[in-house]
Amino acid sequence: MASFNEDGLKKKLDDLNMSQQSIQTVSLWLIHHKKHAHNVVNVWYRELVTATDSRKLTFMYLANDVIQNSKKKGPEYNKEFGNKLGKVFEHLGGLRLDDKSIRGLNRLLNVWEDRSVFDAEQISSFKKI
């Protein structure tokens, strides 16, 4: 696997699309580079904020895949995304997203709640935002 650098990560995020294969491929690469979780999540956040509204849900699906599939390998991503998601939902809450994106975000929150990905208090605060 290619070594980690921010430019490589940005390229992967630029090429990311809504297909399951695209999300899983980038997710596996990120999980492989979990020691860079802090940098990864910061770059992911910057790219999400500047992405078009129609691509924001794709970024959230990537985060979900990384969070859920990296749990067995260590808490790095759960912790880093957990620290950043409040800001993410504040950003998303200030936008006029289409119905598909809103449904997708609500579904993610329900999955995270059902699977105890984040604690109930965090999920509740994300939902309020």
Give pLDDT tens digits for 34-63.
Answer: 999 999 999 999 999 999 999 999 999 999
pTM to 2 decimal places: 0.94
CATH code of the domain made up of 6-128: 1.25.40.90
Q: Note the pLDDT of residue 72.
A: 85
User: How far apart, in Å, are the Cα atoms of 101 and each of 2, 28, 38, 76, 111?
Assistant: 32, 24, 26, 27, 15
Query: Of 45, 53, 25, 55, which Cα lies nearest the Cα of 12?
Result: 25
The span from the first CA to the last CA of the chain, in angstroms, equals 38
Q: Residues of the chain whose pLDDT is less than 50?
A: none
